[in-house]
Amino acid sequence: MDPSLLFEITLIGLLGIGSQWLAWRYRMPAIVVMSVTGLLVGPIFGLINPGEDFGDIYSPIISVAVGIILFEGSLNLSFKELRGIGKPIFRISTVGAFIAWILGSLTAHYIAGLSWAVAFVIGGLFIVTGPTVILPLLRQSKLKPRPAKILKWEGIIVDPIGALLAVFAFEIIAFITSSDPDGTKLMLFFAASFFAIILGWALGRGLGWMFETGHVPEFLKSPAVIVTVIICFTGADMVMHETGLLSVTAMGITLANMGISSISDMRHFKENISVLLISAIFIMLTASLEMEILLQIFSPNIIGYVLLMMFIVRPFSIFISTMGTKLSFNEKVLVGWIAPRGIVALTVSGYFASILLDAGYEDAQILTTLTFALVFFTVVAHGFTIRPLAKKLGLSMEDKPGTLIAGSNPFTVELAKSLSKADIPVIIVDSSWRNLRKAREASIPFYHGNMLSEQTEYNLDTIPYEYLLAFTDDHAYNSLICTTFMPEYGRTNVFKVSPYNQMNGDFSSGVVSKVGGRILFDKKFSMDDLMDKLNSGYVFRTTNLTQQFNYQQYVSEKDDSTVFLYLIKPSGQLKFYSEEMKTVPQIGDKIISLTPPNKEKAKIQARLKNQRSNNGN
């Protein structure tokens, strides 16, 4: 391999993941950071140009990556999610898409100055949003479940529909303008679309059957899925261009609704692949643009077109298509505003630009400029506004970081009460209605169900909760919960009670102690220890660190049997104590601890003494 090409591949990977990290670290939209990074290393400073350097393999790499990303997104589309939102999703994906196509085409003709033929092709393409841009936004914005699910379903479902609409528009135009009209190509279009759906369904069912019957070993399941996706995409695309997107979407939805446990096990692996591909492709596409395209973006007709698409076409299509549904006005406003365009629009528009130019439509030469203008402005505008707009409309779950506690017992109920007093969202989950009695009596939010059941996955909204505490009596079950939810919550936000056995002086299981999740508080405090302290009269105490009473003084004066539970930063950030915790409490922090009763009695006596002395004065 050419050393310069090898260096470029390495640089693309580094810039892509570096952009993702930078966005996470400073809470910025990842797609914006990736787009700007690609522009800087590409057309602005001219360090790389993947479109030229990769040669003939550039387009196939992009196409296959888009297919894998779309499949990974559709693998999350379970029909069980449609409860209560099926009607708005159907209306947006059909009526809304049609309205957006017509209005977008009219805007492209009258504002951008495109011919009717080119306008209707690009109008169909620009209804897409797609998982490459929607999923990163949803990951960072923490919307309430209903608008989040609507945006996710629309982005994935409409992605292949938009590409097919563009193909359909082109075929219609070719049929109408032909001197010898032949309906064969139109029939071929519908046949190819139907074939793509059947191919995706068949491959999905076949792969699912092989997994369920044990015909594929565990270590080959992930590679088998990736290869099958590529076969599915390529097979359909060879019949007709862009039907591969439809085929992989059908395959993903088929597998998602078969209830195969191994597919769920691989979901996080495929999400990681998707993040890597999205990062690399955004860098490659933006770095391959030419400087002339960037300069053309700021022409009045293109700016006018983009503004109308964002502020008129999208909101109008959403409001009209969702009439008669149960969506609130605020939900319609949010969904009507959020519609960033992404990789599919960029890649497919390049394909249509070439075939339209070959067909004699000279105005198609500005399609790349028009597409990138819409992609860049929507990505920036929606990326930076989705979070504040959602909070303004009351559709954001991003308040204080919540805590989900698995296991209901007297200690977890008291812990939940202390969190509630600090205005921190908390919920207790337990499969035993009897165990949940104390939580009900204390008016603590609860969910009756098994944390690992599929029913809980669909019925329990976990978005408000950033921390997971496993507090059941079964240490193996606690470890399994932590291992299962670690990819979702993050390694540093998943905890379990210590499996330490007080009587034997060791851990109840040498294996369990090594699996999943940090040990809460201190490994010497098992569930039995905490319950004994609670039964002995220990109380939950909040200590404010001040200039007059800092952390060092607090540690020196505390009782040796005190259990540090968690601390709250002035910003509202929550941190649970564990042996891996490296944060040193600072002035302004609040420390919540389990304190012996004599300490609390001494505090009360000191307060009474001060009151008597004041009364005496």
- State pLDDT tens for residues 570-582: 777 778 888 766 6
| Helix extents (H) in 393-506 | 410-421, 437-441, 454-459, 475-489
Q: Classify residue 235 as exposed, middle or buried by CB count within 10 Å of its CB (0-12, 13-18, 19+).
A: middle
Convert 416-451 to b/e letters by CB count within 10 Å (16 or more is b).
bebbbeeebbbbbbbbeeebbebbeeeebebbbeeb
pLDDT above 70 (res 269): no
268 pLDDT higher than 70: no
Which stretch of 346-355, 367-376, 428-437 has the lowest confidence by average pLDDT? 346-355
Helices marked H in 359-451 — which ranges? 367-392, 410-421, 437-441
pLDDT at 376 over 80: yes
Q: How confident is the model at residue 122 (pLDDT cuts 50, 70, 90)?
A: confident
By C-alpha distance, which of 387, 374, 430 is closest to 148? 387
Confidence of residue 307 (pLDDT cuts 50, 70, 90): very high
Please give the residue that has the higher pLDDT: either 363 or 97: 97
pLDDT at 454 over 70: no
pLDDT bracket for residue 130 (50, 70, 90): low
CB 68 within 8 A of CB 274: yes
Domains of the chain: 3-392 (1.20.1530.20), 402-616 (3.40.50.720)
Q: What are the strands, taking DSSP E only, across 530-600?
A: 539-544, 563-568, 574-576, 590-595
Residue 339 near residue 314 (C-beta atoms within 8 A): yes
**Backbone angles phi and psi of 183, in degrees to 5:** -80, 5
Q: Is the pLDDT of residue 169 over 90?
A: no
pLDDT at 286: 83
Alpha-carbon distance 127 to 468, whole Å? 39
Average pLDDT over residues 451-480: 75
Tell me the pairing of strands 402-406 and 590-595: unpaired
Ramachandran assignment for 235, one of left (phi > 0), alpha (psi -120 to 50 degrees), beta (any other): alpha
Q: Which segment of 111-115, 159-163, 470-474 scores lowest on mean pLDDT?
A: 159-163
Q: For the residues 397-409, what does the mean pLDDT come to?
A: 77
Taking only the tens place, the pLDDT of each residue in 206-217 is 988 888 888 888
3-class DSSP state for residue 592? strand
At 426, the pLDDT band (50, 70, 90 cuts) reads confident
pLDDT above 50: residue 412: yes
Exposed / middle / buried, residue 469 (Cβ in 10 Å: 0-12, 13-18, 19+): buried
Would you give the end-to-end CA distance of the chain in angstroms? 89
Q: What's the pLDDT tens digit per position in 477-532?
A: 888 888 777 767 777 788 888 776 554 455 444 444 445 677 888 777 777 788 88
Q: Provide the 10 A C-beta neighbour count for residue 526.
A: 20
Q: Which of 403, 572, 573 is nearest to 471 (CA)?
A: 403
Look at residue 264 in the predicted model and tell me its pLDDT: 60
pLDDT at residue 151 above 70? yes
Nearest to 467, CA basis, from 564, 540, 574, 592: 574
Which pLDDT score is estimated for 514? 47
pLDDT at 611 over 60: no
User: Mean pLDDT score of the chain, rounded to an integer?
Assistant: 79
pLDDT at 511: 44
Coil vs helix vs strand at 426: strand
Task: Check residue 496 and give its pLDDT.
Answer: 84
pLDDT at position 107, please? 92
**Class of residue 179 by CB neighbours under 10 A (exposed 0-12, middle 13-18, buried 19+):** exposed
**β partners of residue 430:** 448
Q: How far apart are CA 33 and CA 28, in angstroms?
A: 7
Tell me the C-alpha distance between 97 and 339, whole Å: 12
> What does each C-alpha distance from 267 to 226, 260, 538 come to in angstroms?
12, 11, 43
pLDDT tens per residue, range 28-80: 777 778 888 988 888 888 888 888 888 888 888 888 887 887 787 777 677 76
Residue 512 pLDDT: 46
pLDDT in tens, 561-604: 778 888 888 777 778 888 766 667 777 788 888 888 765 555 54
Q: For 460-596, where are the alpha helices, taking DSSP H only?
A: 475-489, 527-535, 551-557
Structure-block tokens of residue 139: 């990951």
pLDDT of residue 2: 54
Would strands 426-430 and 402-406 be described as parallel, antiparallel, or unpaired? parallel
> How many C-alpha atoms does 463 have within 13 Å on its Cβ side?
20
Name which residue leads in pLDDT, 391 or 75. 391
The DSSP call for residue 92 is: I
DSSP 435: T
What pLDDT was estimated at residue 513? 46
Whole-number Cα distances in Å, 278 to 147, 229, 533: 23, 17, 51
Predicted confidence band of residue 278 (pLDDT cuts 50, 70, 90): confident
d(CA 445, CA 295): 55
The two tokens of residue 51 are: 């479109």
Q: Please tell me the predicted confidence (pLDDT) of residue 518.
A: 78
* Portion of the chain with pLDDT greater than 90, in percent: 6
Nearest to 125 by CA among 347, 430, 366: 347
Q: What is the DSSP letter of 365?
A: G
- Give the contacts of 79 (CB within 8 A, at least 6 positions apart): 257
Q: What is this structure's pTM? A: 0.68
| Predicted local distance difference test score (pLDDT) of residue 312 | 92
- What single-letter DSSP state applies at residue 505? T
